[in-house]
Amino acid sequence: MTQDFSQRLSGLQTAAEQGLFNSIRRGLEKETLRTTPQGDISQTAHPKALGSTLTHPHITTDYSEALLEFITPVCSSCENTLDFLLDLHRFSLQRLEQQELLWPASMPCRLNGNNSVRIAEYGNSNVGRMKHVYRRGLDWRYGRIMQSIAGLHYNVSFPDALWPLLAELDGLPATAADDAWRSERYFGLIRNFRRHSWLLIYLFGASPALDESFLNGRTEHPLQPLAPNTWGAEQATSLRMSDLGYQNKVQASLKVCFNSLDNYIKTLHQAIHTRHPDYEKIGVKVDGEYRQLNANILQIENEYYSDIRPKRVARSGQKPSQALQEKGVEYIEVRCLDINPFLPGGIDVAQMHFLDAFLLFCLLQDSPPLSDADCRAIDSNLQSVVNHGRNTGTLINNQRLQQAASELLQQLHPVCQLLDLGTPEATPFCDALNQQQTRVDDPALTPSARMLQLVRECGGHIPAVLELARAQREQLLANPINPARQAQLEALSRTSLEQQQAIEAADQVDFDTYLQQYFAT
């Protein structure tokens, strides 16, 4: 531990005892495919009983009409956040048609070619059409199959009262903790997160195998047959985070810089205003139909794939980078997490506690700028863990993974102790840390190893995940949703449909003009 890190820990002890960290704010976003009882991707429209995907605050779709996205409210309680997420599952399961299931894994169910992944629809408004055309552009650029992968995003913002304390511990007046300074500290967190995120891939990766249909006839890939119609890698942790998942060579050349907010915004701005020859060949509006929003490296900022993002809630019609530039970073979005197929919500409270400690560690540690060499090492570490994470010979920065992981967990221990000071329970954060240490000591306990074992026992990826999907459906529906929550979600579904109609009726310009105005700002 550096002296500054130790001083920050000790300087925060009194505030922690007084409950400072009980005000950490969290939110979850979880994607899950709707599937047939046989494990095929659903071809039906988004159920109207779930409301409008354009305006519902908690139930929408990601890329595909079949890919539900559940979004919890911001909450300072891990338990309440997870309860809300599980209620969204229950509410949706009650309203799925044709006995459809919710697919509890990151790698998709059985697909039937690119067109079996139906692009999500958002109605006839200009904003709804833009969301659909953006996804059509992703199809032309990357194909729909890649977009059928599901993930879980963990959103965190630290208490407002923390920042002036940190400023004083760094020898500054409390008034120095303004929006710009807070953004600078969040970007320090992001850089440290990138240095250490290989550990999260090892601990929480849960996608070592996939169904053959995902390959769609591809023969050039590094995978091996593991079971009938199932391919994977013996020591892999997260194929979702591999070259088979959300990776793109054009984006790899971007070199988005996380050394400052200004550099980050500048890099993204260049990407969404720089045309790319391959995308120009696709065309934008061909025979009267839009194939993509534009021919730039990124159609919009959300197209940039990253394992972590700085975020701020944007106003309607405001670009994410404009919101960041105006008021700075509000929260962090962790995007590298696989869905844990053994948990009904894809995550549990222990994992949330561990992520809180990990992110606070990244915030409190010194965080020098990242060089190009640092970024290459980060990418190398990630790919090593993604593809060979449970191989005892895998190296992280020239050190065996198990040793590197144990040393990193040891550094997290005083952070967990700090977080435990203000909790009414005994030691939830240290308990969560100890749980992760067992996965380092015995790789067979990791979700990826457990998933590989289940795939073999069930005779393939589809039957393994189907078994989990059916069991979780029974488990969730056996515990009825709270009547007040039920009424709340029913009301939101109704009002969201009304809100969509109002938006469609309020449009005053045609779609071409709307896009021109959007990209002119």
Q: How far is CA 54 from CA 44, 51, 61, 122, in A?
A: 17, 9, 9, 5
pLDDT computed for residue 131 by the predictor? 98
**Burial classification of residue 382, based on how many CB atoms lie within 10 Å of its CB (0-12 exposed, 13-18 middle, 19 or more buried):** buried
Q: 3-520, which class in CATH? A: alpha beta
| Pair 106, 339: CB distance under 8 Å | yes
pLDDT lower than 70: segments of the chain: 1-3, 246-250, 252-253
pLDDT computed for residue 317 by the predictor? 79
Beta strands in 284-353 (DSSP E): 285-286, 289-290, 308-311, 331-337
pLDDT computed for residue 246 by the predictor? 61
Q: Dihedral sign, CA of 348, 49, 464, 201?
A: negative
| Pair 70, 151: CB distance under 8 Å | no
User: How many angstroms separate the CA atoms of 40 and 466, rounded?
Assistant: 10
pLDDT computed for residue 105 by the predictor? 98
Could you tell me which residues come within 8 angstroms of residue 228 by beta carbon, excluding any fewer than 6 positions away?
459, 460
Spell out the domain ranges in the chain. 3-520
User: How many angstroms separate the CA atoms of 337 and 204, rounded?
Assistant: 7
User: How many angstroms separate the CA atoms of 208 and 148, rounded?
Assistant: 16
pLDDT computed for residue 1 by the predictor? 53
pLDDT computed for residue 315 by the predictor? 87
| Pair 193, 362: CB distance under 8 Å | yes
State the virtual CA torsion across 351, 472, 241, 250 in degrees, nearest 10. -120
pLDDT computed for residue 82 by the predictor? 98
pLDDT computed for residue 520 by the predictor? 86
